[in-house]
Amino acid sequence: MATAAQPAVASDAAVPGVRRLHPILAFIRYQPLGAAGLFVILVMGAAAILADVIAPYDPEAIDFVAMLTAPSWEHPFGTDAFGRDILTRIIYGARTALTIGFVSSFTGCSLGAVIGVTSAYFGGRVDLAIQRFIDVLLSYPIIVLALVVVAVLGHRPIGGIDVNLIAAIAIPIVPRVARVVRSSALAIREMPYVDAARAGGYSDRHIIFRHMLPNVLAPYLIMLTAYVAQAILLEASLSFLGLGVSEPKPAWGLMLSGDSANFYQEAPWMILFPGAAISLAVFSFNLFGDSLRDWLDPKFKT
């Protein structure tokens, strides 16, 4: 007896696009707060990239006629003491904050990961010397160490980016990442594949970069995301103190200093909106970083 043909059911394997999207959709479903944080980060990133297109005014254009204008349809976030549009400067400030934040965090976390794995791999006197130096760096609060570094190095803008400012933010990140990565690398050092690589005659450099560093990728990515928020906050703090980005370049921390402190009663929007931008960026990266930790670390999965 003939049976009716059953309709074919498309599997995930037959639809490559579904398989590629599945981890993203799963992250959104099981980590909604992290997905919300990532969405805000992407919006800020798009605004920073497209600032020349979407910003309504020139961020450095001075208009004394529009000085201290309250929020309106023409200036949604108001203007500052020089008549510059605050919304425009916040949009361009996102470019400054995200650029310095990402570059500083990537530099500090990458150096810290290499140092941490190297320390764990060699052990003995090498590990002892590196860890004691890290202890010295960790004895300073992150803002104090950044202040010392930027005060010693000064400013060195290259291509519109202050290289010394990035170094001042990245250096305090290095020991904190190195200490966490070392703890993971100590366990990896005893794995059979590392012993097999040693027995095979591979160099220490090859083992560190090809066998150990890739296996600390999960904690590295978690810290990279978390320290972007720290770097943004640190850049804003240094700019507020006059040691970071300088006028007339738009930066969120810089917008909170100077005339904003003098006119905070007459024009509170000069402090309110830049402060909200800093808080939203830091909060979004922290949300995403915490969710990424839960997503990548099996110890946190339920």
Domains annotated for the chain, with CATH where assigned, are: 100-265+292-302 (1.10.3720.10)
Structure tokens at 259: 């005339």
Q: Which residues of 110-141 are buried (b: 16+ CB within 10 A; e: fewer)?
A: bbbbbbbbbbbbeeeeebeebbeebeebbeee
Model confidence pLDDT, tens digit, residues 196-243: 888 888 888 888 888 888 888 888 888 898 899 999 999 888 888 888
Per-residue confidence (pLDDT) for residue 12, from 0 to 100: 44
Check pLDDT > 70 for residue 297: no
- CA-CA distance, 44 to 58, in Å (whole number)? 19
Structure confidence at residue 249 as a pLDDT band (50, 70, 90) = confident
Structure confidence at residue 301 as a pLDDT band (50, 70, 90) = low
- CA-CA distance, 70 to 20, in Å (whole number)? 48
